[in-house]
Amino acid sequence: MNFEPKIVAFLCNWCSYAGADLAGVSRFKYPPNVVPIKVMCSGRVDAEFIIDAFRKGADGVLIGGCHPGDCHYVEGNYKARRRVEMMKRLLEEMGINPKRLRIEWISATEGKKFASVVEEFVEEIRRLGPVKK
């Protein structure tokens, strides 16, 4: 059977979720492997959410936030960026490929970017296969 990646995407309410919405409204095509979860800010994504997603069977986790300087809450996206960097190092030590965790800045106007990021990420995870135990 072909491997279909499962990807959890935490998208911020103000930019990335609106970006994903725009991708849909504009009818851009992207793979259906992403499960979007709306959060108020990428800074709301606790490190626990990331590890929980992997434990419950996600093959990749995508976090979408506003561009640096554009955060609705001033510095939530910087916190998310640092959290992701720290989590990548923890995942590596745990034996999980850190490429499975990705953070992207997607604004409300960048529907195209959302579609292309998802496409790229799904392809990459497809290449990596499921998390090897």
Partner 1 sequence: MKIAMYWGASCGGCDVSLLSLHEKILDLLKEVEIVFWPCAMDFKYEDVEKMEDGSIDICFYNGAIRTEENEKIAKLLRKKSKKMIAYGSCAIEGCVIGLANLYKREEILKEVYSKDVPSEELPEFLPYLKTLEDVVKVDASIPGCPPPSSILEDALNSLLQGKSFGKNVALCDECPRKDSKPDKIEINRIYRWHEKKDSGECFLAQGIICMGPATRAGCKAECITANMPCTGCVGALPKVKESGISMISAIASIIGNKNEEEVINSIKDYVGTFYKYSTAKLLPEGRLKDES
Q: Is 48 in the site for partner 1 (CB under 8 A)?
A: yes
Sketch the per residue contact string, 50 through 69, with partner 1: x for CB under 8 A, - otherwise.
-x------------------
d(CA 124, CA 43): 25
Shortest Å, Cβ 52 to partner 1:
9
CB closer to partner 1 out of 60 and 111: 60
Q: Is 132 in the site for partner 1 (CB under 8 A)?
A: yes
Helix intervals (H) in the chain: 16-25, 47-55, 76-94, 111-128
d(CA 37, CA 104): 15
d(CA 18, CA 16): 5
According to DSSP, the residues that pair with 37 across neighbouring strands are 10
- Residue range at the interface with partner 1 (CB under 8 A); choices 6-14, 16-24, 96-104, 106-114: 96-104
d(CA 7, CA 16): 16
Which residue from 27, 29, 56, 133 is in contact with partner 1, where contact means CB under 8 A? Answer: 133
The strands making up 7-12's β-sheet, listed across from edge to edge, are 34-39, 7-12, 60-65, 101-105
- Residue range at the interface with partner 1 (CB under 8 A); choices 15-23, 27-35, 94-102, 107-115: 94-102
Q: Is 78 in the site for partner 1 (CB under 8 A)?
A: yes
66: left (phi over 0), alpha (psi -120 to 50) or beta: beta
Q: Is 89 in the site for partner 1 (CB under 8 A)?
A: yes
Give the interface with partner 1 as residue ranges (CB under 8 A): 43, 46-48, 51, 75, 78-79, 81-83, 85-87, 89-90, 93-97, 100, 128, 131-133
